[in-house]
Chains A and B, each alone.
Chain A
Amino acid sequence: MGFEVFTDKFESFIGTNFWTMIIAWINLLIVFLILRKLLFKPVKNMIDSRQKEIDDLYADAQQSRDDAAAMKADYESKLENATEKSEEILKASLRKAQLKEEEILKEAEEKAARTLARAEEQIEMEKKQAISDIKNEVSDMAVEIAAAVLSRDIDKDEHAQLIDDFIENFGENND
């Protein structure tokens, strides 16, 4: 192994030193390998992973936005249903109330009619009673009157029969 130092030696302007090329290759290889390991790969990986994270975030946001929209639509349709239902319920209860009212009215009318009929019946009955009472009284009175008029002893029963027949006929004629 030799070693020779030069103080004033130059290569030609267009260099032909093949070792320079080899050293350039070695340097390029080293620079390439180390830069790739220390700079390009880590930075590129980081950028890619961050890009992926951002993409995922956006996808997630889109997903939740879609979910929210679906939920909103669901709620809106439910709300609409609820108003419809409440209206229906209201209508149904109104109808029910109306029916009940009608029923009550009808019942009351019936009751009144019944009461009226009963009253009329009673009146009729009392009238008949009164008439029969009057008949009895009149017959008694007639007997008494007849007894007083005749003041003779006549068979009381015969006379009563006589007067009754008379009154009967009278009543029938009068009816």
Chain B
Amino acid sequence: MGDLDVGNGAKVYFRLTLFDGAVAIDITQTTISLFVVSILIIVIGAILGHGITRRPGRKQALAEKLVLTIYDLVESTMGKHNLKYAPFVGAVFLSSMFGSLIGLTKIFRSTTADLMVVLGWALVTTGLCWYEGIRNKGFFGWLKGFGEPIVFIAPINIISEVAQPVSMAFRHFGNIAGGGVLMTIVYAALGGVSTLVFRGLPAAVASVMPPVFQIGIPAILSLYFDLFSGLIQAFVFSLLTMVYIASANPPPKPKLTRAEIKAAKLELKAKKAARKAARKEKTALKKQQKKLLKGSQSHTQYT
């Protein structure tokens, strides 16, 4: 732990160049972590999903709990018509959670500490929003949606459309990467404290003393910055994914038949006419009252 890699991103292991250097693929810590996380999730998913029977055992109860939780969450935030997105939301949630938590191993770097990963996921969400928008309103209808409620607001709408994945990605990335940075700094600082305290001892003893302050304290901080933050960010990210897609795919309106529309219009007309008639009657009544009052007054005047 000699050098601090606080300002650095993922370590690049090697570079693959294809087509005579036209394409250069950097294989980094993040790449490795991504594959490790994927394999981990797939293996866990396969074990949980294997041998599903009518009478659930302990393992199946866990699988059902997990699946049902995700389905319930999707149904409550996106509506019943969006239940098809549950596996996608589950995949995003698990990828994010395991991607953040794998940083705890200190062997692999958190995948979510790489902006490109979370930005990629956020862009998938944006893509799905656009797909749903185009599917619901048609391409031009979707384009027109940017000019609502007035045309002049279109640039702002476009900016907000861009800001959506960017904010999503930076929120997630910032939380995890920032937590990692903080943990590294705290770790280094505690090492410094150790050496500072042991300076009073003879050099021979101080050199063999372990950095005792590094024991225990980082674990508590790590509980928050790595574990809690990882879980929360995974939840927030998938929740935002759900909310954005759901807003792009509102629940289908019940289709009215032409006769029903006609009936509704007629009813409205009848109501209007009735109101008008009532008003007329009221004014007439008032006039009459006034007249009567006047008459009685004049009568009293004469007597």
- The interface stretch among A36-44, A79-87, A117-125 is A36-44
Chain A positions within 8 Å of B35 at CB level: 23, 27
Chain B residues with Cβ below 8 Å from A25 are 120, 124
B14, B42, B50, B116: the one contacting A6 at CB < 8 Å is B14
A28-63 interface code vs B (CB 8 A; 1 in, 0 out)? 101110111011111110110110010000000000
**Dominant secondary structure at the B interface:** helix
Nearest residue, chain A, Cβ from B53? A46
Q: Which residues of A contact B119 (CB under 8 A)?
A: 21
Q: Determine if A4 and B120 form an interchain contact, defined as CB atoms under 8 angstroms apart.
A: no
Interface presence of B117 (CB below 8 A):
yes
Range of interface residues on B (Cβ < 8 Å): 35 or more
Tell whether, in the assembled complex, residue A28 and residue B91 are in contact, meaning their CB atoms are under 8 Å apart: yes
Q: Is B13 an interface residue (CB 8 A)?
A: yes
Q: Is A5 part of the contact surface with B, judged by Cβ < 8 Å?
A: yes
Tell whether B219 is near chain A: CB-to-CB under 8 Å.
no
Give B21's nearest chain A residue, CB to CB.
Answer: A2
Residues of B within 8 A of A44 (CB): 67, 71, 86
Report whether A14 and B9 are in contact in the complex, using a CB–CB cutoff of 8 Å: yes
Chain B residues closer than 8 Å to A9, beta-carbon distance: 11-12
Q: Which residues on the A side are within 8 Å of B13 (C-beta)?
A: 5-6
Tell me if A77 is interfacial: C-beta within 8 Å of chain B: no
Which residues of chain A come closer than 8 Å to B66, judged between CB atoms?
39
Is B5 among interface residues, defined by CB-CB distance under 8 A? Answer: yes
Distance (whole angstroms) from the CB of B39 to the closest CB of chain A: 9
Q: Once the chains are docked, how many angstroms separate the CA of A15 from the CA of B117?
A: 9
When A35-B94, A43-B64 are in contact, do A13 and B9 touch as well, CB less than 8 Å? yes
Is there contact, CB below 8 Å, between A20 and B52?
no
> With A1-B18, A43-B63, A43-B67 known to touch, is A24 a contact of B45 (CB < 8 Å)?
no
Contacts of B121 in A (CB 8 A): 24, 28
Give 7 A-B contacts (CB < 8 Å), ordered by A residue. A1-B17, A19-B31, A27-B95, A32-B91, A35-B87, A39-B49, A40-B49
Residues of B within 8 A of A (CB): 5, 7-18, 21, 25-26, 28, 30-31, 34-35, 37-38, 41-42, 45-46, 48-50, 52-54, 60, 63-64, 66-68, 70-71, 86-88, 90-92, 94-95, 111, 114-117, 119-121, 123-124, 173, 177
Interface residues of A (CB under 8 A from B): 1-6, 9-25, 27-28, 30-32, 34-36, 38-44, 46-47, 49-50, 53
